[in-house]
Amino acid sequence: MATSTSRGRALDTAAIRADFPIFETGVAYLDSSNTSQRPRQVIEAMEEYYFKFNSNIHRAAYSFAEQATEHYEGAREKVKRFINARSLKEVVYTSGTTESINLVARSWGEQNIGAGDLIVLTLLEHHSNIVPWQLLAARQGARVEYVDIDENGELRQDQFRALLEQNPKLVAFTQVSNAMGTITPAKAMTAAAKAAGATVLVDGAQGAPHLGVDVRDLGCDFYAFGGHKMCGPTGIGILYGRRELLEAMPPFKSGGDMIRTVAVEGTTFNDLPWKFEAGTQPIAEVIGLGAAVDYVAGIGLEAIHEHEVDLTGYAYEALSELPGIRIFGPPPARRSGVMSFDVEGIHPHDLATIADRHQVALRAGHHCAMPLMTRLDVAATARASFYFYTEKQEIDRLVEAVRDAQRIFA
Ligand SMILES: Cc1ncc(COP(=O)(O)O)c(C=O)c1O
């Protein structure tokens, strides 16, 4: 297990990296906002389930099935503590952030959004926090407005406040931009939106892994995040919802396990959170998520953020020294571990291809944030993204790869 750290002490990345078998390949992995790497502890927790007590949950009487159920529900307890939810009933397993938001858009949205209602989003959003709301608005005859960004890539709070004056029914925004790393003032925005009478969903896909969250302190109604960006497996995510809201919402998916009784005349539904967990669940993935929560919490969210700010500052300076570089987003202290940039005369995809020759994994594209790319007036950017296991030598390798690309395209 990696050493846990307290505030102000540098992370021991060498010890941490020994937990991640993939680093033995020599890759400089700078794509953690896309998906993080997984430590041995997560892989072994899933393996233990498959090797030692593989069985379905909530339904068999034999003892190792009970073990599976205990691990499955035990992971929920870990997540509850990680996000500081009031009750286990507020922690719903989904397949990822995308499904969490879709669940709210369908179940809460169709009950609560009507013709002419306003939904407020922002230009920082990932497509998964845009498209479900656009589709909901189309179904219900509602309208969607977007908060713009300023020249630093931060949300225009003046515009946000002006939109709140129109009494939106729903405000949905990201805690951290996946495309630029911008940290939004989520607590203040939530408080303002709640004061205006809106229901608030925060997209925590990039927030939970890098900043952590205390949903009670944040004050939002819904908070969505996934396992695979925080050292957990793919295919598992969380929807946190305030209990009163989840109680009042109809089921999203239906079938086995989400029911209490089924008769030919009709069905009554299970208690929370199982009302929203239909069918056989991704049990190994849930167990892996529990191990990931332990791992990330063991490193410490404050230490993770400090490490990322340090890396981002380092990358900001090193890249800024190169000619023809445009860096998107706020100064390092106000962002998470994401550097989105453009190199004059080199398409981001070409840059990523050359970086690959240096064994540097770099993302190029629109980062599922096309409205933001349009606003920045670019088709794509190159993006390097960091996590607690990232080292400065990997950023040096990125800078060398950019230099190489500039020599090739000179
Ligand atoms: C900000 C943000 N929201 C939502 C998503 C979608 O997450 P998931 O893969 O868990 O569905 C992502 C993934 O990149 C993201 O960065």
Tokens of 159: 């515009």
CB atoms within 10 A of CB 169: 18
Reported confidence tier of residue 63, pLDDT bands at 50, 70, 90: confident
pLDDT for 169 equals: 98
pLDDT tens-digit readout, 387-397: 999 999 999 99
Of 257, 258, 225, which is closest to residue 241 (Cα–Cα)? 225
Average pLDDT over residues 307-332: 96
**Which of 133, 178, 285 is the pocket-test mutation for ligand 1 (most atoms within 8 Å of CB)?**
178
Query: 337 CB contacts (<8 Å, ≥6 apart)?
Result: 32, 33, 181, 210, 307, 308, 309, 311, 312, 385, 386, 387, 390
| Signed CA dihedral, 307, 369, 245, 286: sign only | negative
Mutation test residue for ligand 1: of 35, 97, 182, 289, the one with most atoms within 8 Å of CB = 97
Q: What is the model's pLDDT at position 61? A: 81
Q: 198, 253 in Cβ contact below 8 A?
A: no
Question: Can you give the pLDDT at residue 4?
Answer: 43
Yes or no: say if 281 and 57 are a contact pair by the CB < 8 Å rule. yes
Closest C-alpha to 287, from 38, 17, 29: 38
**Tokens representing 299?**
């490193």
User: CA 388 to CA 12: how far, in whole Å?
Assistant: 9
Q: Tell me, in angstroms, the distance from the centre of ligand 1 to residue 174's CA.
A: 10
Task: With CA atoms as reference, report the closest residue to 142 among 167, 175, 173.
Answer: 167
Ramachandran region, residue 178 (left: φ > 0; alpha: ψ -120 to 50; beta: rest): alpha
Has residue 1 got a pLDDT over 70? Answer: no
Residue 7 has pLDDT above 90, yes or no: no
Instruction: Give the pair of three-digit tokens for residue 257.
Output: 């396990």
Are the beta carbons of 292 and 42 closer than 8 angstroms?
Answer: yes
pLDDT for 8 beyond 70? no
| Cα of 61 from ligand 1 centre, angstroms | 37
**Which atom of ligand 1 is least distant from the CA of 174?**
1
With cut-offs at 50, 70 and 90, classify the pLDDT of residue 60.
confident
Average pLDDT over all residues of the chain:
96
How many whole angstroms separate alpha carbon 178 and alpha carbon 209?
Answer: 12
Residue list, ligand 1 pocket, CB within 6 Å: 96-98, 126, 128-129, 174, 178, 203, 205-206, 226, 237, 368
Quick one: tokens of 115? 């013709």
Summarize pLDDT for 14-38 with one digit per residue, the tens. Answer: 999 999 999 999 999 999 999 999 9
Residue 118 confidence (pLDDT) above 50: yes
Residues 219 and 227: beta-carbon distance below 8 Å: no
User: Phi/psi at 327 (nearest 5 deg)?
Assistant: -105, 130
- For the annotated catalytic residues, the residue numbers are 368
Distance separating alpha carbons of residues 154 and 277, to the nearest angstrom: 36
Give the mean pLDDT of 174-191: 98
For residue 71, what are the contacts with CB-CB under 8 A and spacing of at least 6? Answer: 49, 53, 283, 286, 287, 290
Identify whether the C-beta of residue 394 lies closer than 8 Å to the C-beta of residue 29.
Answer: yes
How far is ligand 1, taken at its centre, from the CA of residue 35, in Å?
9
Domains of the chain: 13-30+300-405 (3.90.1150.10), 44-297 (3.40.640.10)
pTM of the model: 0.97
Whole-number pLDDT of residue 64 = 86
HSE-up of residue 117 (Cα within 13 Å, Cβ side):
22
Residue range 199-255, pLDDT digits in tens: 999 999 999 999 999 999 999 999 999 999 999 999 999 999 999 999 999 999 999
Cα separation, 282 vs 182, in Å, equals 32
Distance 185 CA to ligand 1 centre (A): 19
Report the pLDDT value the prediction gives residue 45, as an integer from 0 to 100: 98
Residue 2 has pLDDT above 50, yes or no: no
pLDDT in tens, 311-323: 999 999 999 999 9
| Per-residue pLDDT at 5 | 44
